[in-house]
Every structure is written in C-alpha cells, then in structure tokens.
Amino acid sequence: MEALKETNFHFPNQKKMYRGKVRDVYHIGENHLVMVASDRISAFDHVLPKGIPFKGQVLNQLAARFLDATKDIVPNWLVAMPDANVSVGVKCQPIMVEMVIRGYLSGHAWREYRAGKRVICGVTMPDGMKESDKFPEPIITPATKAEEGHDEDISREDIIARGIVAEDVYVQMEKYTRAIYQRGTEIAAKQGLILVDTKYEFGIDAEGNIRLIDEIHTPDSSRYFYADGYAERQAASEPQKQLSKEFVRQWLIENGFQGLEGQTMPVMPDEFVNVVTERYIELYEKITGESFHRADTDRITTRVESNIMDFITNNI
C-alpha cells in the first residue's frame, strides 16, 4: 500500500501552493482552492515520519459527506470531489480561530482538568467530573489558529477584545458551531456512536459571507465513543472505547513524546501503521454504515494529479 506523503504539482493558473500538516492546498485563479488530503498524520502539532495509507481518502470522503449533511445549516466551501483524496472549493479568507466544541470531558480538556484547572477558555467546568463524563451542556473552547507551532486556548472575551473576529461574526460562528455539533451528534447516534468533541473552521468568501471550511467530523478533527457500553464503562471508571486519533497520541506519550522541547519523535513500526490505517477505515465504515472502497494506490501521486488536471481543464 502506497501512502501519499506529499504533492508538488503545477497546474494552469496556479497562484500559489501551501502545505499544511495534512493537506496540500493549491490556489487556482482568484476564486478556487484545490485541497489534497495526504496520508500524513500529525499529533501534538508535529507531523509523524510515516504516512498512513488510505487516511487521506477517509478524511476527504467523510468531510465531503458531512459538509453535504450540514449545508442547510451553514454554507460551506466545497464545490466538487474529483478524486478520492481531493476536494475543490470556493476560496475564502480563513478566520484565525478554531471553534472547538466539547460535549464530554476528554482529551485536552481532561488533561487540563486532571491538572487541577476548572476554567478553560473562560468556560468553567463543574467540579467532581471524571474522564469521559458528559458536560451538562456542550462547551465551546476556542483556539487561535497558528500557522506554525501550537494552537493556543483563548476565551471568547479575548477573541473579541483583541479584534481577531468582530463580535457579530463570532456570535454567528458560535450559533453555527452548536447547530452543526447537534446535527453531527444526531448522525453519530444513528450509527451507535457518540460525537465527543470536534472543531470547526470558518472563512469569509468574496461576497462577505461566512462559510464552513476545511474538514468536519473526521477522526482528525473529532473524537467518537461507542455508545454501546458507554454508561457501564463510566460507572466502572473504565476507559471508553473510542474512534479517534487519540490512540496515536497515547502511543506517542507511551514512547516519550508530547511535542515538548528536547523530545525525539519516535518512528511508528509498520505493524502500528497498519493498525492506524485499519482504525481510520473502521471509523469510516462505522459512522457511514457503508463499506469503504479502497482507491487504487499504485502510482497514487499520478492518479491524483491527473484527476485534478482534468477537473481544472473542464471546469475552471
């Protein structure tokens, strides 16, 4: 299985190219973005040395599915998906805040809570909670969107005071965030899953409209628990069975890496890479209720480039 580690394409009317942690983004003309979901995997804001075969396809197809399922709530950037690993959409000016919403105490919030903190991003968390407990109401814990390095927690008040986002725009983003999370929660429940927490990113298009951008409800942007047995595991103080990237973070922690200065990134053995691939495919199949069809990975870079070129030639 060949992994798509990176691309270096040159398309007609290409203005620039940006490589993120996972995606390679091509600016085509004034109004379009071509976003290639690679098989890179990141954790603690670092890209791991090895790619995960089919990860990009899983992310791309899930994101497209959920963008379509929420377009009645908020307009989004997506126009077409010309390849299993590629999305084409409307170019937007990104709003430099990630809208993180948490229905349960897990991940980063739990690590902060366990350290004794009861306020995160200006939001007070109740005393007496344990890992994976459900919050009385979902909480929004925004983060600044860093070009490099770590995203940082930030409060609603600081976002507005620092002028990162106009207050009316931020209020609308909060409304969208709660509504999209509710829709995602309902979709997950039908498949026997709990949408634990997730993040959304928004941008402003050329007409000044807020659009949902990037990916949503994927294992890279979200955490899922299995609903079956959730209550019993909580009552017994047992770890929840989950579908997310958290198990990769836990593997890194066990191998002495949390992205801190002086730490060395461990290299995943091939056996663990295969496990990660299967976990991503498991999530796809579990949340969609459909079989995952593996795209041909033989000469994957050539396939992706050819499909993008065909789309640009005929549609842009």
Alpha-carbon torsion 92, 97, 102, 106, what sign? positive
Let me know if residue 147 belongs to a domain: yes
Write the DSSP symbol of residue 133: P
Instruction: Tell me if 123 is assigned to some domain.
Output: yes
pLDDT for 148 beyond 70? no
Strand 222-226 and strand 193-204: the pairing is: antiparallel
What type of residue sits at position 228? D
Residue 129 included in any domain: yes
**Per-residue model confidence as pLDDT tens digits over 250-262:** 999 999 999 999 9
Instruction: Kindly report, residue by residue over 215-230, the tens digit of the pLDDT.
Output: 999 988 999 999 999 9
299 in a domain, yes or no?
A: no
Q: Report yes or no on 101 lying in a domain.
A: yes
Q: Under a CB-based contact definition with an 8 Å cutoff, are residues 188 and 67 in contact?
A: no
| Residue 64, in any domain of the structure | no
What's the structural domain count of the chain? 1
Q: The domain that contains 125 carries what CATH number?
A: 3.30.470.20
Q: Looking at residue 146, what is its pLDDT?
A: 66
pLDDT digits (tens, 9 = 90+) for 67-126: 999 999 999 999 999 999 999 999 999 999 999 999 999 999 999 999 999 999 999 999
Q: Check residue 243 and give its pLDDT.
A: 81
Domain range enclosing 171: 94-243
- Between CA 43 and CA 301 the distance in angstroms is 24
The pTM of this model reads 0.90
Say if 276 falls within a structural domain.
Answer: no
Element containing residue 276 per DSSP (H, E): helix 270-288
Would residue 1 count as lying in a domain? no
